[in-house]
Chain A
Amino acid sequence: MILEAKEIFKTYKGVNKELTVLDNINFQIEQAETLAIVGPSGSGKTTLLGLCAGLDNPTSGLIQLAGEPISQMTENEKADLRNRKVGFIFQNFQLLPTLTALENVMIPLELQGRAKGAKAKATELLERVGLAGRHHHYPSQLSGGEQQRVSLARAFSNDPAILFADEPTGNLDEETGLIVENLLFELNQEMKTTLVIVTHDLELANKTNRIIKLKGGKIIHDQFIKTAAIK
């Protein structure tokens, strides 16, 4: 088991009353599983992703990531765990604007202190995502699809045990989105990574082997699909 969420609650203090965003969430994810979290806007999808990835803390409950209680760790311990075990893909790409494509991909490895082989691995990954000639381009010089491919290369650069993707194709056109989706699933399969996707897109969700449906902060549906289809 790579990820376990146990009795998770997340509430925010409003002006007059408390707002419960996540209400008693429980689930487990096994190694190499692919999972989609779906639900309408405001259902708590992104909040749940943030908690699972150790970007935020639950109000109560326990989250175990790669066997470690991430919800009880200090900020620095969480940062270290993310760097070793987690990869991220964001809807708005989140590349560092002042770094070239190559440097963006190298960053997680350099953070691990693996600067020596970083360049070779980053180059290989960029070639793998089809950006062989764009190493020294800055994000502002790349299209949206290219930026997301750099983001994919970066997400896999540290050989993560689990990869979190927040609406990975939400900012892309259908054609480009499809290319990115395929790359994501291919790389995931090659590297045997656990994949957690937050999305509105049911087509994308159906490509995973499990779908968790959220509504009003509660899991209303948790369904395993036999095979994940890759086009």
Chain B
Amino acid sequence: MNWPLIIKTAIRDSRKDRSKLLLFMSSIILGVAALVAINSFNDNLVRDIDLQSKSLLGADMTVGGNKPIPASLLASLDSLGGEHSTEVELFSMSYLPSVDQSQFVRLKGLKGDFPYYGKLVTEPASAASSYKSGNYALVDDGMMLQYKLEVGDSIKLGDITFSIHGRLMNAFGNVDVGTSFAPSVYIAREQAEASKLIQAGSLVNYKNYYKITSGVNLDLWKKERRSLFRNESMRVTTIEDQRENLQEAFSNLNNFLNIVALISLLLACIGVASSVLIYVKTKVQSIAILRCLGMKGEEAFMVYFLQIVAFGLMSVLVGVAIGSFIQTVLPIVLKGFLPYEVNMAISPSAMIKGFLMGIVITTLFALGPLLGVRNITPLKTLRISDEPVKADPLRWLIYALIVLSIAGFMYSLTGSILDAGIFTAGILVAFLVLFGVAKLVTWSVKKFFPKRASFVLRQGLSNLYRPNNQTQTLIVSIGLGTGILTLLFILQGLILGNVEDMGAGNQPNMIVFGIESDQKEAIESITKSHEMPVIQHVPVVTMDLAAWQGRTKKEWLKDSTRIASRWAINREARVSYREEMSPDDELIEGIYTGVHDGGDSILISLDQRYAEGLDVKIGDPLTWNVQGALIKTYVGSIRKINFRKMESRFFILFPTGVLEQAPQFMILVTKSPNKQVTAAFRNDVVKAMPNASVIDLGNILLTLNEIITKVSYVIKFMAGFSILIGLIVLISSLFLSKFQRIRESVLLRTLGAVEKKIYRISAVEYAALGSLSALTGILLALVGSFLLAKFVFELDFNISWWPILGIFVFIVALTIVIGLWNSRDVVKRSPLEVLRNV
């Protein structure tokens, strides 16, 4: 090979086309930038997890569960030496006298010197250590801002009114999501117990924090006592566990982002491949001349390969640089998901990874169309034809290498051959489906072409089939972006719509729980005083499963061959009793018994999932421990619960006539007509019965919206990215097919078409392109959201068409504007230039 000439020709030949090449390479810059940014971010995140897992846990080890730690375990824990702190955590209503408002809070009662590592950040700083010395509370800064509270104001929790001692600037172990639903409040543990908020049936979490000085290997210690703690339903977390949990949680997020970035890179590469194909087509004549003058096929191939590799290399390097810069933006996008501040630094490994992946993928995708250069015959100098460049059988090898490199990248992410295979297959299937739909859509347009339509319409539509068209690539890239956006909007609409349905008409929208038996009349009278209906007022009795099918709970837990799941066995049951089954529940098996006849057999009703979890069927005996007293029952019926209504639902229902004398609390379900009544009702309840909590639909919507908004921020960021790449492909395809368009436009003008008409033809073409792309995306989003709604979220599929129409109009308008803007030059060219064969 004549290398000096090949290099010289590659440089000379690219001189006039550099701007075109730079443009289509910009999609590669974007793709690589996304990959590098996400990988750098992950490297920083993992590094900080290692550094911060100790201060995030605040101790060497924590032990906790939904009951106090049993004495048998405490003895074993005490033998470790060192010091420990104890905590009770519960959700409760708080009352704010200075503003006469109430707020649902996450209450933590602490005793001891926790945190041992890290810092509880408060304002003033001294409040972090002194709040346990009296009737003081630390209150979440966000909540204080919301209610315009100041240090020194009061907050009533249960029976005690506390003075706000400081603003809580961070809360241990809580990710930001949901804090506006239940902001944190810290008080001393003794005060939490004195407030009478902890009662039978209260949802309380107990936790001990340990600082170990004896040098015991806690992971080994934990491993040896694993079953001991599990059998008591106690969770033990060491620093290593905390690190692994965080890593796992964020590696899932990172894997998701990486897959999205890879899809963006692949989209960009598809854009590159089709641009290279067009580029090669515009070069066919030059290649034929070079071949005619004696250049070998391989040498001609090398000329263009070098050009593409050089531009690819430059683009990848720019992409790596931009990616390293934009990683600093990601913490802002992902703020809500991060439990701590991530320190951003340049990550050489992410840069190398992004560089290698970028260059390999770009080169492989460009190679496919470039292979054809070897087969361009010198005969084309004599006869100009639009004959397509012959496809090369070597392309199959290139395709295989592309699939392998994707799988390799996936393997580097997941570390599992099986997962990498599944992901790769998933990506391939997704792209094949998209291409299939794109092909089907274009075929349909051709098949049902409006032959009798106006000249402008026919001309515009037939442009979709012109040689060098990018119709399918654009449908795939713009379609994918539109699809992701639409899917997001549909799902968001479906979830919110379903939640709103809960409160529509006569559906209840408020639940009061934690009402004591003797407060039954009082709560009903408060409810009625606000002209609200008592839709449900049901008793709740807490109990534990003691034995079933002739074996005790302990025996079952020891049996490694059992089918029953641990969650079902260990669950603290909250049971109600009623004569009639809820009309929304569906009886699957047996007969519902509402009233116990006084005989030996107490027939209870179980939820289907719970029955499956316990592996019990109709007629099986179950013995319950109701605060010391054992009650033997039999499974009388199995129900399927409809959780979509905001009412109290129970896995286990007893008939009346059994539990009436057992210690119990009540739940009241009602409906508030508006926010004002909700606030007034909530205040009255908290004042009259501090132990009760009010949850309203507004709270749930708020939390749900908060989560969806945070997730959608990330997804919109990525969807926007995909659309951006699609538009770059559109601009580059317009650039590359410019000459052909100029020639056609000039011919049309020569034949009498005015400029306006040519613009109209172009507008029809871009409108069709934008519509087809948007329709493809929307079609896929509809199918995807229907499947997700039906099988994952179990939601009713009632969608609102307005946002979808909005997305459609936006995408079509964007495509038309960008298309026409880039066509100005084409329309304005002088016919003379074309006649001179520019």
Contact = CB atoms under 8 A, between A and B. Distances in A.
A56 B379 contact: yes
Interface string A143-159: 00000000000100000
Interface in A151-190: 154, 166
Given A75-B297, A107-B290, A111-B2, A99 B382 contact: no
B297 A76 contact: yes
Given A108-B293, A140-B838, A90 B286 contact: no
A206 interface: no
Contact of B294 (A50, A103, A108, A138): A108
A30 interface: no
A40 interface: no
A96 B289 contact: yes
B132 interface: no
B296 interface: yes
A90 B382 contact: yes
B293 A49 contact: no
B294 A98 contact: no
A192 to B, nearest CB: 21
B382 A96 contact: no
Contacts of B296: 75-76, 79-80
Nearest to B836: A140
Interface in A110-147: 110-113, 115, 138, 140
Given A76-B296, A111-B295, A98 B12 contact: yes
A215 interface: no
A54 B605 CA distance: 91
Contacts of B9: 107
B383 A82 contact: no
A163 to B, nearest CB: 13
Interface stretch (B13-21, B634-642, B646-654): B13-21
Given A76-B297, A82-B294, A108-B294, A99 B285 contact: no
Contacts of A154: 293
Given A97-B286, A98-B15, A98-B17, A107 B292 contact: no
Contact of A83 (B13, B294, B377): B294
Nearest to A93: B837
B682 interface: no
Contacts of B752: none
Interface in B121-172: none
B211 interface: no
**Range class of the B interface residue count:** 20 to 34
**Range class of the A interface residue count:** 20 to 34
A110 B5 contact: yes
A83 B289 CA distance: 12
Contact of A94 (B2, B5, B295, B381): B381
Contacts of A50: 379, 382
B505 interface: no
Contact of B12 (A75, A80, A103): A103
A89 B4 CA distance: 26
Nearest to B383: A46
Interface in B278-316: 285-286, 288-298
B451 interface: no
Interface string A41-78: 00000100110000110000000000000000001100
Contacts of A84: 294
B16 A111 contact: no
A230 B544 CA distance: 117
Contacts of A83: 293-295
Contacts of A108: 293-294
Given A88-B381, A108-B293, A94 B8 contact: no
B5 A97 contact: no
B696 to A, nearest CB: 71
A166 B381 CA distance: 10
B463 to A, nearest CB: 25
A8 B275 CA distance: 41
Given A55-B292, A111-B294, A46 B382 contact: yes
A94 B290 contact: no
Nearest to A198: B382
B736 to A, nearest CB: 15
Contacts of A113: 2, 5
B378 interface: yes
Contacts of B295: 79, 83, 111
A99 B295 CA distance: 16
B185 to A, nearest CB: 73
Interface string B383-419: 1100000000000000000000000000000000000
A90 B563 CA distance: 85
Contact of B381 (A55, A97, A99): A55
Interface in B781-838: 836-838
Contacts of B294: 79-80, 82-84, 86, 108, 111-112
B8 A110 contact: yes
Contacts of A80: 294, 296
Contacts of B17: 98
B382 A55 contact: yes
A166 B289 CA distance: 14
Given A82-B294, A111-B295, A115-B4, A99 B377 contact: no
B13 to A, nearest CB: 5
A154 B293 CA distance: 9
B415 to A, nearest CB: 47
A228 B377 CA distance: 34
Given A55-B292, A55-B381, A94-B292, 6 more contacts: A50-B379, A76-B297, A90-B382, A103-B12, A110-B4, A166-B382
| Shortest beta-carbon contacts, A-B, top 3 | A83-B294, A55-B379, A76-B296
Interface of A: 46, 49-50, 55-56, 75-76, 79-80, 82-84, 86, 88, 90, 92, 94-99, 103, 107-108, 110-113, 115, 138, 140, 154, 166
Interface of B: 2, 4-5, 8-9, 12-17, 285-286, 288-298, 377-379, 381-384, 836-838
14 contacts: A55-B377, A56-B379, A75-B296, A79-B294, A82-B292, A82-B294, A83-B295, A86-B294, A96-B290, A98-B12, A99-B12, A99-B13, A110-B4, A154-B293
